[in-house]
Amino acid sequence: VYHIMKDKKLRELLANAGLSVAGTRAAMEKRIKEFTLRVNAAIDSGHQPSLPVVAREVTKLERDRDRAGLKTAAGASGLTGPAPTAATAATSKADTFSRLIASVKQREQSVPKPPRREGEAT
């Protein structure tokens, strides 16, 4: 539903819910969807949701996600040096794939093949 709303209407909806109107359209849609989901979940569980509390939870969740996104896996693990690039990731995947292929070929060679019977096609 939110993807067909005009930006102005979406911003009004966010402001009425007590949520931030900053960010990209996708971020705003994600924010209001999370808010709606949490409010509906509270209602479904038989609780009367406090809209300002839900708005704060959504804001905190978004802030925590943004902070987690800023940390790279290398930075979080304490590694130093340049961040991995798409080229190094592709090389790593190719190396892994090559090892898997070699492993399968080795297993095929180590498993004895049953003798062929006469009249069987190969």
Specify if 65 maps to a domain.
yes
Specify if 118 maps to a domain.
no
Specify if 90 maps to a domain.
no
- The string of pLDDT tens digits covering residues 2-44 is 888 899 999 999 999 999 999 999 999 999 999 999 999 999 9
Specify if 107 maps to a domain.
no
Q: Look over the chain and give the mean of its residue pLDDT values, rounded to a whole number.
A: 83
C-alpha 87/C-alpha 84 separation (Å) is 8
Q: What is the dihedral of CA 54, 59, 64, 66, to 10 degrees?
A: 140
- The string of pLDDT tens digits covering residues 92-109 is 778 888 888 888 888 888
- N-term to C-term CA, the chain: 58
Tell me the percentage of the chain whose pLDDT exceeds 90. Answer: 48
Specify if 5 maps to a domain.
yes
Domain range for 66: 1-70
Specify if 38 maps to a domain.
yes
User: Would you put residue 60 in left (φ > 0), alpha (ψ -120 to 50) or beta?
Assistant: alpha
Specify if 66 maps to a domain.
yes
Between 58 and 113, the more confident residue is 58
**Number of domains comprising the chain:** 1
Residue 55 has pLDDT above 90, yes or no: yes
Q: Which helix (H) or strand (E) holds 117?
A: none
pLDDT of residue 76: 55
